[in-house]
Chains A and B, each alone.
Chain A
């Protein structure tokens, strides 16, 4: 039993692929969750935490892509990340968003024939956009929330608050995270070259 994968990419997911998906999803989720936990200290801590977890997650996902050359692997990873986010009380829209972005990432990786570094790095950077999902309730249904605010604090303050709480700060941050993701994925490929390729753990 070796960890050497066969060199041709397959179309169907075998049991080994499914277990691999589970293991790497667990690590990736753990890393992301730790990053989010830094938000308990302060919102700034959460931004720092997500930046760090995006960089570390880059190595995890790069190794995952190097080990699993199957169409659908990133889709399932995204779907399960979404389900885990839902099960820990985050916004339900994260599930379709994660699965959709995972599918797009899958298509990009496939376009690079599962070998192209550039494609893999781009796929990870794009996939990190899912982090907008947990914040999505701040963006949508703003009129309903405005009504609640007006009921509690009156129209003048409710207006002020709706101006201060513009979600575009969060949106801009997530877009920056995309680029951080590209950097993280690039670091990931370097780490894999240095530690895993030499040891023969990836083909």
Chain B
């Protein structure tokens, strides 16, 4: 039994509703749970049969680091634009038209503002706007690829990649717990919100602004109490399924190096070459 299969399966539903949830509204919690699990299954299928290009999760992780280093390191601006073009092509090859459109428009607008605006109207205000646009372009490219990475790589694939790459157990297990638990945090917060509404305490944005310390206490304490309990249940159920053993887990995700990976590698090498030899190019 593999660690990632153990944890990506739902925990026994008895452990999820909190005190607040059961007091206030027990029905939204299971439905949210079901939604989360179907969404999870959806990403798993999307990962297995990505329309068009399929990239090994290990390649995706390596590319995540590479894009970050290329874009947020000291490379010239043209390297950022070249990386942006590569990320846009990846979006298109995976059939994510809307993502490709949003990403390209954002980067094009920011880059144009940076490159053209100070040349048209030269004054301190446009210079300031241009600097902001410059940083939006750089961070936009790294965040754009990160969004693509999260959208195309499911939790099971990430786990399989990390296990195959021989990451230590003490890193993989908490990381999988985090990925599994972040939706639960949102779910618990919604349940606490409902419970507070029932008791006539106004949470929401207005209440949080009026009484920041009080409302954060009212939200945080039940959240932490519920989470500690869920952590206990989660560790018990995962230990029962063999997480405590020190064997190297196997994985049900088939990891293969295919044409998609070759494409990504060639493009990455071109970008690295641009980083090394294109230092003098200034737009």
Contact = CB atoms under 8 A, between A and B. Distances in A.
Contacts of A22: 173-178, 180-181, 231
A3 B229 contact: yes
Interface string B139-169: 1001111110110000000000000000001
Interface stretch (B28-36, B121-129, B252-260): B121-129
Interface stretch (B39-47, B48-56, B63-71, B193-201): B63-71
B10 interface: no
Nearest to A94: B68
Interface string B98-127: 000000000000000011001100101011
A27 B115 contact: no
A87 B152 CA distance: 12
- Among A77, A153, A154, A161, the most chain B Cβ lie within 10 Å of the Cβ of A153
A73 to B, nearest CB: 10
A196 interface: yes
B170 A76 contact: yes
B176 to A, nearest CB: 7
Given A3-B228, A19-B235, A92-B68, A152 B114 contact: yes
B171 A79 contact: yes
A29 interface: yes
A191 interface: yes
Interface in A138-167: 138, 140-141, 143-145, 147-154, 157, 160-161, 164-165
Contacts of A20: 231, 235
Contacts of A19: 173-174, 177, 231, 234-235, 238
A202 B225 CA distance: 11
Contacts of B143: 88-89
A164 B147 contact: no
A161 B128 contact: yes
Contacts of B283: 148, 151-152
Interface stretch (A55-63, A103-111, A112-120, A171-179): A55-63
A11 interface: no
Contacts of B115: 152
B224 interface: yes
A90 B134 CA distance: 16
Interface string B212-252: 11001100110111011111111110110001100000000
A19 B130 CA distance: 46
A59 B118 contact: no
A18 B177 contact: yes
A180 B211 CA distance: 18
B177 A15 contact: no
Given A19-B235, A23-B177, A23-B230, 5 more contacts: A23-B234, A26-B181, A143-B74, A157-B118, A191-B220
